Amino acid sequence: MHSCCAAECANERSTSFKKLTSGGGVLFVQQNFAYSPVSDYTSYRYREVQKNGKLPKTTKRSSKWMTDLCEGGMEDLWSIAVVLLQVWFSVMIGFIMIPAMFGLSLGVTSVYIQILVKILEWATLRIERGHRERPTLPVPAPLPFGLIQREGGSMEQEMGELRRYRTQSISRGEFSLSDSFYFYIKGLESIVDDQVTQRFSSEELVSWNLLTRTNHNFHYISLRLTIIWGLGVIIRYCVLFPLRITLAIIGLTWLVIGTTLVGFLPNHRLKNWLSELVHLMCYRICARGLSATIQYHNKENKPQKGGICVANHTSPIDIVILANDGCYAMVGQSHGGLMGVIQRSMVRSCPHVWFERSEMRDRNAVTSRLRAHVAAKTNLPILIFPEGTCINNTSVMMFKKGSFEIGGTIYPVAIKYDPRFGDAFWNSAKYNMVNYLLRMMTSWAIVVNVWYLPPMTRREGEDAAQFANRVKSAIAHQGGLLDMAWDGSLKRAKVKEEFKEQQQKMYSSMVMGKKGRNSQEPHTESTRRQ
């Protein structure tokens, strides 16, 4: 009797297990007791292994069911990923690339910039209110032109000011002990606030632009401002950054492929037209990859073929900014690696001027090649940055005179970036090219104004250095930049002895007076000839 009951219970239990496994994990109620199929299945599996030494068939069927479920889930994930990629590339090609290739704009970037302006204005007001509510917070002071406010007078004027309350006049050419204070003041000013080296660091902001890299002088204000900053990080790194990377890769790839294919064509008008078209398309795609908003002013003064375009230099993307509105022949040193591949493909379709490292030291060879390029009036205008290094968007430093010895017409261009949306300055001493581009692609945007100035030529009796200074002053005035006479090569080199000697000669000529200056001029001229 007992054995029959036990067999019947075992049979019912087996039937219950089959229902459980086939039911996909539904709880089975037996004698008003609910139990989990996982625990019941585990105990059943353990007894079957003890009894028969192998897994039951139901276990094999359950394992197969789990395998099918995992495979089906992976297929669904892959399907979703493919659909998302299709949508991503469709939006990018249809709404960004194609309009960019033809120089069109759907107005999305303009709306984006307007929203950014509103957010940054609100953040500025919130920070100002926070400083009023919490006076203990340090207030960052904008320092666009340094700690010290300089009058900008000459050595003779400043020394005359020091002698104003004395009987001795600087015009009489007499020495005064008070003159030494002028050199003391200049030395202390250089130590406290060097006018040169501060041009090689990022520009100071008036208010925080919600970028972590620029929050050195700003502190916690409110929760809402912190939330806005967090949302900005997500948008910049999770949405804008992948989009910009994709556009940059597509733009550079199309530049290499397009210029290589055009290079196989014979020299003809069609080749030149296709080359300019490919260059414009690629640079416009790359500009969209930076969310660049560019305003071009005075387009009637755009550089023409056979001319030389000179501009102030803030960033390597200056080339993209200018080439977005017209084609130029680039001048530079030949490189290897990826940059070398791009240079070799570009020169096949367009007469760019690349120099080897050994040729760069031969000034006459460089000048002769540039003159030959300018002499052909069908060649694209040469794009040159006479400063020779990147300056931080606040100043224009000394122009090298070599670009102005070539001859021909000079087309000055002033470039001014808006630092609120991103710092375009490349501090090459602190960041390599990859890090710099990553910083650009994770900024809010690149907003820049470009002014085409009227063409300029050398005047009669004007040497190359004077012509370079005249062009530099025009660019600085138009762009609202500080006009500086210092050489940008001081970024990596020491001050030349010539600058020290120049200051000494100026002071000695003032001390010796007019008579001394007249007697010193022949000696100075003979020394210069030597």
Q: Is 285 in contact with 251 (CB distance < 8 Å)? A: yes
**Residues whose CB falls within 8 Å of the CB of residue 263, separated by 6 or more in sequence, listed in order:** 345, 348, 349
Burial label for 353, CB within 10 Å (0-12, 13-18, 19+), is middle
Tell me the pairing of strands 33-35 and 329-333: unpaired
Q: Which tokens hold the place of 58?
A: 């139901």
**Residues whose CB falls within 8 Å of the CB of residue 218, separated by 6 or more in sequence, listed in order:** 127, 140, 208
Under DSSP, the state recorded for 4 is H
362 pLDDT exceeds 60? yes
Segment 190-214, tens digit of pLDDT: 766 667 777 777 777 777 777 766 6
What was the pLDDT predicted at 344? 87
Place of tokens 């290897």: 336
Higher local confidence (pLDDT), 482 or 493:
482
Q: Is 506 in contact with 155 (CB distance < 8 Å)? A: yes
**Region 260-283 average pLDDT:** 90
Segment 286-302, tens digit of pLDDT: 998 888 999 999 999 99
78 pLDDT exceeds 70? yes
348 pLDDT exceeds 50? yes
261 pLDDT exceeds 70? yes
Burial label for 408, CB within 10 Å (0-12, 13-18, 19+), is buried
Q: Indicate the helix (H) or strand (E) that contains 77.
A: helix 57-92
What was the pLDDT predicted at 234? 93
Higher local confidence (pLDDT), 137 or 116:
116
512 pLDDT exceeds 80? no
Segment 407-435, tens digit of pLDDT: 889 999 999 999 889 888 988 888 888 88
19 pLDDT exceeds 50? no
**Region 302-317 average pLDDT:** 92
**Residues whose CB falls within 8 Å of the CB of residue 156, separated by 6 or more in sequence, listed in order:** 170, 510
Alpha helices in 238-329 (DSSP H): 241-263, 269-288, 318-323
Alpha helices in 163-268 (DSSP H): 179-192, 223-235, 241-263
What was the pLDDT predicted at 359? 67
Tell me the pairing of strands 410-417 and 33-35: unpaired
Place of tokens 């948008």: 235
What was the pLDDT predicted at 283? 92
What was the pLDDT predicted at 303? 93
Place of tokens 């130590």: 191
Q: How far is CA 385 from the centre of its chain?
A: 17
Band the pLDDT of 516: cuts 50, 70, 90. very low
Segment 165-188, tens digit of pLDDT: 555 555 555 667 667 777 777 777
Band the pLDDT of 383: cuts 50, 70, 90. very high
SS3 for 354-374 is: EECHHHHCCHHHHHHHHHHHH
Band the pLDDT of 26: cuts 50, 70, 90. very low
**Region 47-63 average pLDDT:** 52
Q: How far apart are the first and last CA of the chain?
A: 131
How far, in Å, CA of 192 to CA of 128, rounded?
29
Higher local confidence (pLDDT), 160 or 382:
382
What was the pLDDT predicted at 144? 46
Length, in residues, of the chain: 530
Question: Nearest Cα to 373, choosing from 339, 338, 347?
Answer: 347
| Domain coordinates in residue numbering, the chain | 2-62, 218-498
Higher local confidence (pLDDT), 473 or 75:
473
What was the pLDDT predicted at 157? 67
How far, in Å, CA of 173 to CA of 442, rounded?
59
Higher local confidence (pLDDT), 348 or 8:
348
How far, in Å, CA of 288 to CA of 168, rounded?
64
Segment 436-481, tens digit of pLDDT: 989 999 999 999 999 999 999 999 888 999 999 999 999 999 999 9
How far, in Å, CA of 204 to CA of 394, rounded?
10
How far, in Å, CA of 525 to CA of 213, rounded?
52
Q: Is 390 in contact with 428 (CB distance < 8 Å)? A: yes
What was the pLDDT predicted at 153? 60
